[in-house]
Structures are given as C-alpha cells and as structure tokens.
Structure 1
C-alpha cells in the first residue's frame, strides 16, 4: 500500500463550466491555486475573460445547452493543453417560478440549461478521458431537490435531483475507464444570485444554518478539489453535501 501524498491537481487540465462567477468561479480559483490548468467556460465573454485574467486561467465562450457546443469545449481544451483530466460541470440557472405559474417553456428551458447541458458535457469529456484511461468528473448539484424543497423551485429541484440519477449510471458506465463521477451538493453560498434574493432571505437562511453563516464559493471549490484529485480514485457515484449542517436539524428550534 502506498502512502498518499497531499491533495494536488498540479498540471492537471480542468474544464469548469459556468466558471466566470459564483460557485464556478470558486471552483476555478481553488483548482488554479492548486496547480491545475483551468479552462473557464461561460456564455458571457466579458465576465469570463475578466475572471480568467484574475485567476491565471484560460477562457472559452460557449453556450453548452447544445451537444455540439459541449464537444467544441472539449476540443478547445485538447487543442490548448493536449489533454483533459477534470470536468467540473457547474453551469446552471435557478429562476424562481411557482407551480401555478409554470409553463412548458419555463420547465424546458431550465431542464436544458441544468440537466441536458450536464449530460452532454459529461459525454463529451468522457469520450476524451477514455483515451487516457483516467478522468475526474464533478457535478454541481444542490441540496434543493435531492434533499430539500423550497417554494418556487420545483423545476430547479427536479433538475438537480435529475443530475444525481444521471450521475449514478454514468459512473457505472465510465468506471472501467478509470473515470469517476461524483457530485457536490451546496447549501446556501454567498454568490451574486443569493445576494440578489435580498437581506430578508439571507437573514432567514443564515438563521437556519447551524454554523450561523452562509458558505463561501471556495468552500465548494475545496470539496470539488478533493473529488477531482487522484487521491479520490476509490470514490464514485457519491454526493458530498457542503451546507454548514443546514439539512441536519429536525426543526429550527433544534439549532442551538
């Protein structure tokens, strides 16, 4: 049995989708700080280029709602770096919509952005990883859907739970090739989207979290770093909840 070294992704090539801001930026920051060569993918060129410059990463503009765009992202990573070791599939949206107001268009749009993009980004990355007999795939899911519910996010919750159903079978299909597929489930983390919910929402969520604080995007980044590392070789089809204990209390009164 070999003695494991420190967690490191030095010289690994990583794609981070939705990496220009929020949780994706936190993941990209942590991977880059630990030696990875990171390709940030975003639909918005201005945000992506600014973040890439800040983190010492690379940037590629793409809307990964289409399979062809996912394939183009992977091809770009191979052209620039010659290999692909890590995919952090993070891109997604979370618009609020009550069940009464739900339309087919609202449902389909969110499923494309959150679930279909995940599936075809994984497919494209896996095709390249199979050649090397190595790969680490980390999905950004959520506690909302797989573990909890929240009014207005039924379609969002369904997409995030769907990611985990996809993950488990993808992990089985890819495991013979040395590829692992896991997911991080963030709770309430300080992002542009959460800040836009307003101070009342933030206050209520903070009160509901046992550690009495929202998470930082880097908290999710460090979880992704471990799952993306060589040391996580015996972990696949698993979920890692990063929520400050939010899903643990039976009631708010049980939080000390």
Structure 2
C-alpha cells in the first residue's frame, strides 16, 4: 500500500458513492481526509474558499485535493435549456476551478479532478456533461502548466461506468453492453477510482502532471467500427 500517513486530503462530493469510495481509499493509505459532503454543503462556485480554508485549518496544512463533486443529468440536446446547460457546467467545471484556486492559496501540492471517459466519448443525453468533463481535462492541463513551477501537480482521472446500488436492475441493457465491451468484463468500483487518486497524490507520481488517467476496464481501447 502507498503510505500517505500525515497527509491531509480534501475530497469534494464525498457524501456517498464514488466520493465515499475515494475518501475510503485515502483513509486506507493513512491520510487524514476532510470530506466535503456534496452540493448541499454549499455551492462550490462561490463557497470554495470557505470549504478549502476549513479543511486547511482543521490540521494546519492541506496536501491534496480531489475535485469529485459533480452532476450527471440526462437531457436530450435538442430540448436542453440554457439554464440546464449552465447548471451542469457551473457544478462540474466552475466548482473545481474555484476549489483549485483556493487550494493553491493554502499550499496544496496535488490536485486531481474527477473527469470522465465522456470527455472524449460522449453519450446521448449528456452533451452538457461531456462538454464539462472535456473542459475539466483541459483545465487540469492548463493548471499543470501554470502551477508546475510552484511544485503543484494537477491531473485528472477519467472513470468509465462505475457500479452503484441498483444499477443492474435500473439499467440492465446498459450494464450488459458495458460488460460485453470492456476487456476486463466488469463495471468499475469507487475503490478503483480511489486507487488512481491515491497514486496521483503520492510520491510515486511526483513527475506526473497534466495527465488524464483513464480508469475504465479497457473499454475505450475497443475499436468503434
């Protein structure tokens, strides 16, 4: 196991599901995890400074941030309103932008955004989501360039389809398609994504920045023709 004992890590959107799995893997590695429980704790576009400052003040330092808070509504593009588009972009892109700026002011060393394979492989009904995740990947790369001279690393993790309670009964055809397409023949788990985040926050990744780490069981390696 990677040892992050004594490191302080802020995980946004850690109230359940993917965020909880990420937080758990950091705790397993010995880190002190500050869990931002989700959007109900405040709008990260305007409340990022408070969220980050509180995480910093709890332990006196902040070593890593995982920007996981996000939304994934399904809305067909022809019927999508500007308000629906803006809501997703504000949550998935502007929130991490604001958290990143605040974290840098607190001396953070590693920042990881949770993006998606939909940043390059969009699905129907997810135009706003896919666009926000593509932009998030580019934000991380731009931030890596600008913050690198200060020793700050910024990366993204792009998950594939992640298991959650009830998904097999709610979307059986989608799960079946995924398992047939993925070379590793299964859905991902929150812990799979957490492992990637722990790695990127560790010294093992000390020369990795501006990188998008795809964690999808190999599904994007399949030919599309």
Q: TM-score, normalised by structure 2?
A: 0.94
Which protein has the larger Cα radius of gyration, Structure 1 or Structure 2?
1
Q: 2: CA distance between counterparts of 1:98 and 1:225?
A: 35
Equivalent residue for 1:137?
A: 111
User: Counterpart of 1:91?
Assistant: 69
Q: Against the structure 1 CA distance between its residues 115 and 73, is the aligned structure 2 distance closer, same or farther, given a 3 Å change threshold?
A: same
> Do residues 240 (structure 1) and 213 (structure 2) align?
yes
Structure 1 residue 196 displacement after superposition: 7.7
Matched-pair contact (CA < 8 Å) for 1:41–1:62? yes
Matching residue of 1:107: 85
Number of the residue aligned with 2:104: 126
Mapped to 1, the partners of 2:86 and 2:217 lie a distance apart of 32
In the other structure, the counterpart of 2:162 is: 189
Instruction: Tell me the residue number matched to 1:173.
Output: 146
Q: How does 1:145-156 map to 2 (within 5 A)?
A: 145=119, 147-156=120-129
Q: Is the 8 A contact 1:188 1:194 kept in 2?
A: no
Q: TM-score w.r.t. structure 1 length?
A: 0.83
> Does 1:62 find its partner at 2:41?
yes
> 1:16 aligned to 2:41?
no
Unaligned runs of 5+ in 2: none
CA distance, structure 2, for counterparts of residue 195 and residue 243 of structure 1: 18
- The two structures, once aligned, show a CA RMSD in angstroms of 1.8
Q: Distance in 1 between matches of 2:166 and 2:91?
A: 16
Q: For residue 188 of structure 1, give the secondary structure of its aligned residue in structure 2.
A: coil
Report Cα offsets for 1:125-171 as digits up to 9, x if no partner.
11111xxxx501011000002x2121110110000000011111111
8 A contact 2:6–2:31 mirrored in 1: yes
Residue-by-residue CA offset, 1:202-245 (whole Å, 9 max, x unaligned): 12222221111101110000000000112211110001110000
- Aligned residues, how many? 225
Q: Does the 8 A contact of 1:64 with 1:121 survive in 2?
A: no
